[in-house]
Structure 1
Amino acid sequence: MKAGRKAPQVVITGVGVVSPVGIGNERFWSNLVSGRSGISPLRSFSADSFPCKLAAEIHDFDPLEHVYEKKFLKVMSRDIQLGVSAASLAMKDAAIQSGQISPERLGVEFGSGHISFTPDELAEAARDFADPSEREGYTRWGEDGLGKIAPLWMLRQLPNMPACHVAIENDARGPNNTITSADSSMILALQESVRCIQRDSADVMIVGACSSNIHPVDIARISLYDNLSSQSDPESACRPFDRDRDGTIVGEGSAVFVVERYSHAIARGAEIYCEVLGVGSGCDGRGYENGSGGRGLTNAMNAAMKRAGISTSEVGHINAHGKSTRRDDYVEAKAYHNTFGVDAENIPVTALKSYFGNFEAGSGAVELAGSVLALKHGLLPATLNYKHPDPNCRLNVVREPERLKTSVAMSVNRTTMGQSAAAILRAV
């Protein structure tokens, strides 16, 4: 974009959701406003050895219903299947037909993360080198071991593969990038997609994030460094900002958005959900200590509002990160007070992880879908399980669905290490 030229408007014209709360926009939204949680006892494998027995799983997902290039399913992990399927739903929702957009003007920005594999997948290759005393075994790894690993094994684990498969599925030959910044990946991907359109590198971007922590290796890993809820009742396990919260819940899912130049959307007669007014990012700089008191999130929100050209008083509601851990919720609430001052106790706040737990990149995407659909329907979903306000947070957490009073929404995410992002959306 040349200096002095006003940046073109960027809008969202399609939404696709694959989540524990529902597959497809209608089911997802209906369950949100009805207060139906997607958290239940873990079913995919035995939870006997895990401290947390609950999870937010997608039980009715069949990738064959959504993936066009079915021959690629064999090299798609669960995470990738969720992302590609959500992208298919988003493109259908945007009413974009194959060949309607020049492939060079259609790009992909995707958030992804760590994709686990089971030890069984490498067991045969590692069996010959199990004895650590045989040092020569390491030298024979390249000669004997690699031949026992499936040639395409790595393609299931690479975090850039969701973006690759989405591009192949939709013949998108424009800008293509992957963001691997855990929970903040979705909004950061949205930020980069807006930049691509505003610098005239694309007319339309397929933007989303996907992840699945429904995996024994993932749950064991997360249990070592994060706080998972010890509750046995799935209906009340995840309780963001509540005084009695004791941890989050693992889950899985994806949401994808069609992000488009406003003039391009109007020209093709697209239905517009909302305008992306501004996106901002920041980092605490103190890592897991959270010692900065949420400075990164404060910086991200201020940057988003500055880019959007709005003041704090114009933010109608906040779709919070709301991880449901004592540390993270406190730091997040503190950031709101730093940003909005006394008004932080008045702005309606909803925390959708109370419905589907936390699954890093994918949960940020599903939360953003909640924001977009809330603006469409003019209704803010409630936060489940918020019964006892935490005096250390002091927020106006919505307990029942609430009609929106303004058309401007803020959606935020932050990682355990302090990377933060915020997006400002406005209903059109």
Structure 2
Amino acid sequence: MLNEKLHGCSSIRIQHFAEKPIVGGVGIVSPSGLHPDAVVDAVVDNCSVFESPAFSSDHFSDRRVALVRNYEARNYINPPRAARYMSRETQFAVAALGLCIDDFTKRSGAALFSWIDPYDIALFAGTGSSGISLDDIMPMLINSCDPQSGRFDPVRFSSRGLSKLNPLTSFRILPNMPPSVAVIYGGVKGENLIFNPWEGSAMSGFQEAIHALTEGRSRLAISGGSDCKTHSDAFIAFDEYGLFSRGPFVMSEGSAYLAMYLEESELTAIINPYCRVAGMASMTVYGDTISAPMSSEMCEGIMMGALSSARLSSDEIDCVISSEDFGFQDLEEHEALNAIFREAGEGKGSTIDNRLPRIIHPRKVFGNAVASAGHFSLSLGAAVLDSADERAAGMERIMVNSFGFGSEKHCVILEKP
């Protein structure tokens, strides 16, 4: 019945599980830290990761970024010298995937590739509009423009501009490079697919990873995303899209990956899991391919779809990790939460027994990510459910919303295994 009231979107797609996926490994490189426990600490300690960018940002209405700190790429990339040929976003992807594989290995007690064929491991990842410092491409731009009019000249670009560009820069600009390089360095040889959040959502990679498992295409499926939107040309691009005028916006960077297997597989006997994927629902929203904003009815419908998938009532959800709060639809999401959870979702600052917030807003600990937004939130949910911190006690089921960039919107329910 709810689908009949929704306009400008597809019907709600509800995932039905014969076997539920299990999250067995998490790798995260984020502004709040490089370990799942560090992210939980940032939430319960109410930390903020916002700071000013390294470049002059006086032109922009919102001038904050969320940077990854205490991170040295050479410590996570082998051989270390290869890091200099990678963009920062690619470095994050390689590091996060490596951390995910290492985490899975520690939880199983054996090296991953010693008991799973690399061809039986699939990877599905999201990537955003990659970018580099303007300093790296300024010589090319200057030599590609007509000296009289200042306009870009294709002839000068081919005859003069390209010769001023370092050939290795192309590997740092191409948006598909982060997951592609991560696959190579991670040793994953099975099915892989890249999702662009400008056309859909990197969370579609999470959904496709589950399909790869349930359809028997892979024994282990990894999904994730990576971002680096803290540089000057990203600010310029987002300003042209008008995103800074829509509300508070904190440009972010980092990467997150999750490794999953099916509950009934032989892996269950040897792995200490984070959580189980209890339910999931999604929809396609038509219109603006950048923001694709949702109405409160759409938000409510997709959350109710996820509850139906998990065969749960709203009273059985202990915590909600909201969408990334881009400013243009957080009110609609909040209205939907009120409608579903009533007094439980009464206010954005409401709490459960003074422990974790009833509603966690990931923007404070991650900033406004794009390709990695949904996987940041999923990693946070998995970490909270696995945490031994007494401040996270009582958390059994968490709803994770991903309603941000792209036309594909998702709601996932995680629960303790």
1:292 CA drift (Å): 5.6
1:427 CA drift (Å): 0.5
Contact residue 285 and residue 292 of structure 1 kept, 8 A = no
Aligned to 1:317, which of 319, 344, 353?
319
Contact residue 281 and residue 297 of structure 1 kept, 8 A = no
- CA deviation vs aligned residue, 1:313-368 (integer Å, no higher than 9, x gap): 3322211115162x322121123345556764389211121233212222332222
Identity %: 21
Contact residue 184 and residue 415 of structure 1 kept, 8 A = no
Give the SS at the match of 1:250. strand
How many residues in Structure 1 have an aligned counterpart in Structure 2? 385
Contact residue 328 and residue 416 of structure 1 kept, 8 A = no
TM-score, normalized by length of structure 1? 0.79
Give the SS at the match of 2:218. coil
Q: 1:317 to 1:32 in 2, by over 3 A?
A: closer
Give the SS at the match of 1:420. strand
Counterpart-to-counterpart distance in 1, 2:404 and 2:199: 5
1:167 CA drift (Å): 1.4
Find the counterpart in structure 2 of residue 114 from structure 1: 129
Give the SS at the match of 1:166. helix
Q: 1:290 to 1:146 in 2, by over 3 A?
A: closer
- CA deviation vs aligned residue, 1:174-232 (integer Å, no higher than 9, x gap): 11111222698453221111100111111112221111221111123334412379xxx
Counterpart-to-counterpart distance in 2, 1:345 and 1:402: 21
Contact residue 211 and residue 252 of structure 1 kept, 8 A = yes
Give the SS at the match of 2:55. coil
Q: 1:183 to 1:175 in 2, by over 3 A?
A: same
Aligned to 1:375, which of 381, 385, 388?
385
1:82 CA drift (Å): 1.1
Find the counterpart in structure 2 of residue 272 from structure 1: 273
Give structure 1 stretches of 5+ with no counterpart.
230-245, 381-400
Find the counterpart in structure 1 of residue 62 from structure 2: 52
Contact residue 64 and residue 249 of structure 2 kept, 8 A = no
1:298 CA drift (Å): 3.2
Find the counterpart in structure 1 of residue 32 from structure 2: 21
Contact residue 281 and residue 299 of structure 1 kept, 8 A = no
Whether 1:198 and 2:209 are equivalent positions in the alignment is no
Q: 1:160 to 1:297 in 2, by over 3 A?
A: farther
Give the SS at the match of 2:96. helix
Letter in 1 for 2:411: A
Q: Residues 18-417 of structure 1: matches in 2 within 5 Å?
A: 18-42=29-53, 44-95=54-105, 97=111, 99-100=113-114, 101-131=116-146, 138-139=154-155, 141-181=157-197, 185-224=201-240, 225-227=242-244, 247-264=248-265, 266=267, 269-287=270-288, 293-323=295-325, 325=327, 327-337=328-338, 339-340=340-341, 344-345=345-346, 348-377=358-387, 403-404=393-394, 407-415=396-404
Contact residue 281 and residue 296 of structure 1 kept, 8 A = no
Counterpart-to-counterpart distance in 2, 1:206 and 1:330: 32
Contact residue 206 and residue 256 of structure 1 kept, 8 A = yes
Counterpart-to-counterpart distance in 1, 2:44 and 2:95: 24
Letter in 1 for 2:302: A
Counterpart-to-counterpart distance in 2, 1:168 and 1:210: 16
Give the SS at the match of 2:259. strand
Counterpart-to-counterpart distance in 1, 2:315 and 2:285: 24
**Larger RCO (CA under 8 A, 6+ residues apart):** 2
Counterpart-to-counterpart distance in 1, 2:199 and 2:87: 19
Higher mean C-alpha displacement, 14-23 vs 288-297: 288-297
Counterpart-to-counterpart distance in 1, 2:126 and 2:236: 23
Give the SS at the match of 2:18. coil
Counterpart-to-counterpart distance in 2, 1:207 and 1:190: 5
Give structure 2 stretches of 5+ with no counterpart.
1-15, 351-357
1:105 CA drift (Å): 0.3
Q: 1:145 to 1:39 in 2, by over 3 A?
A: closer
1:425 CA drift (Å): 0.9
1:140 CA drift (Å): 5.5
Letter in 2 for 1:247: P
Higher mean C-alpha displacement, 132-141 vs 48-57: 132-141
1:379 CA drift (Å): 6.7
Higher mean C-alpha displacement, 369-378 vs 120-129: 120-129
1:416 CA drift (Å): 5.1
Find the counterpart in structure 2 of residue 8 from structure 1: 19
Letter in 1 for 2:376: V
Letter in 2 for 1:190: F
Counterpart-to-counterpart distance in 2, 1:38 and 1:425: 25
Q: 1:294 to 1:114 in 2, by over 3 A?
A: farther
1:61 CA drift (Å): 1.1
Counterpart-to-counterpart distance in 2, 1:167 and 1:278: 28
Q: 1:312 to 1:361 in 2, by over 3 A?
A: same
Contact residue 124 and residue 209 of structure 2 kept, 8 A = yes
Counterpart-to-counterpart distance in 2, 1:155 and 1:283: 32
* Cα RMSD after superposing both structures: 3.2
Counterpart-to-counterpart distance in 2, 1:292 and 1:266: 39
Letter in 2 for 1:414: F
Counterpart-to-counterpart distance in 2, 1:265 and 1:35: 39
Counterpart-to-counterpart distance in 1, 2:153 and 2:292: 44
